[in-house]
Amino acid sequence: YQAKQEGRNDYRLFSKHMNHQQHKLLAMETALRYAVETGEGLSVHYQPQVRRDDRSLAGAEALARWHHPDFGPVSPAEFVPLAERAGLMVPLGMTLLNNVASQQRRWLDQGLIPVPVSVNLSAQQFWQHNLLVQFRLLLAEHRLPAGLIGIELTESVLLDKQQQAIPLLYGLRELGFSIAIDDFGTGYSSLSYLQDLPVDTLKIDRSFIQRQESRSSNAILAAVTGLARELDYKVVAEGVETEAQMETLTRYPVDLIQGYLTGRPVTADEFAERWLSKQTC
Ligand code: C2E
Ligand code: CA
Ligand code: CA
């Protein structure tokens, strides 16, 4: 009884000094921990990436979704940083990756023609122990051919420890994963670092697409797409919302478009129904 009472007093003391926001964060962290353990409320949405020239499907990005009974839908912009702080990002990332890999397997088994799906890797995931082993196992467990899963990394993940990143990137590529640099242009963006990194795709951040009237955005678009062409990277323009933005992009060597104009993120079933076609033989 004594211990219990002490416990309660501790809690009171603790709670008195916590403001509302901290309470909510703590409650969310507990809920997220439960979601990661059980998979409950977690899902993946798929956003199409289409070819600029004919808007045909070329791939998709997997985007994490979390729906909690009390908190409602929580944005990944909120729960991914929360997961990182709480040390939950590695197990959460594995849950999402397995979700995507088993979905791809299901689509193959249903006779649908799959497209490469790219997943976002946060710093903690990229630098996790045994990354290459985990990714090799992922393909083996789901019997997935190489090339159906891509990886998106931001510049900041790579730049912190660039020298250590290079062999990991080569390892991932050898396993058949393609690599994209996400939110390109928003980080440190010393362009010269690119030439040492084995990457396949640059995803130009939507801030440069959506502020196209400004001269500086146009200059950045011209520089980035020009450089990408020189270095043989594929270029994805992110966050394209209007035909006017699409029109501007025809002036630059951009390969793929990902944005609300050409397709919003949708559930796996909707994605298959709207975007995937049947194998004919
Ligand atoms: P991101 O990787 O840059 O993903 C693109 C975000 O832009 C998505 O937001 C997508 O819904 C949104 N978007 C797509 N087209 C448009 C458009 O035309 N206009 C506008 N305004 N937005 C558009 P979402 O799904 O809320 O994800 C936010 C961020 O959370 C992602 O940014 C990514 O950094 C992170 N995230 C999402 N899923 C995962 C995941 O599975 N793992 C990790 N580590 N991070 C994730
Ligand atoms: Ca991304
Ligand atoms: Ca992005």
This model of the complex carries an ipTM of 0.99
Find all residues with CB under 8 Å of 3, minimum gap 6, and list them.
none
Strand, coil or helix: 257? strand
Our measurement of the distance from residue 131's CA atom to the centroid of its chain's CA atoms, rounded to an integer in Å, reads 16
What residues line ligand 1, using a CB cutoff of 6 Å?
47, 63-64, 75-77, 80, 96, 119-122, 182-183, 206, 239-241, 259-260, 265
Q: Provide the whole-model pTM.
A: 0.92
Tens-binned pLDDT, residue by residue, of the chain (281 aa): 344 444 455 454 555 667 888 888 899 999 999 999 999 999 999 999 999 999 999 999 999 999 999 999 999 999 999 999 999 999 999 999 999 999 999 999 999 999 999 999 999 999 999 999 999 999 999 999 889 999 999 988 888 788 899 999 999 999 999 999 999 888 765 667 778 889 999 999 999 898 866 778 888 899 889 988 988 999 999 999 999 999 999 999 999 999 999 999 999 999 999 999 988 86
Ligand 1: residue whose CA is nearest its atom 17: 239
Helix (H, G, I), strand (E, B), or coil: what is residue 9? helix
Task: Give strand ranges (E) for 124-232.
Answer: 149-154, 178-184, 201-204
Q: Whose CA is nearest to atom 13 of ligand 1?
A: 239
Angle ∠(180,96,78) on CA atoms, nearest 5: 80
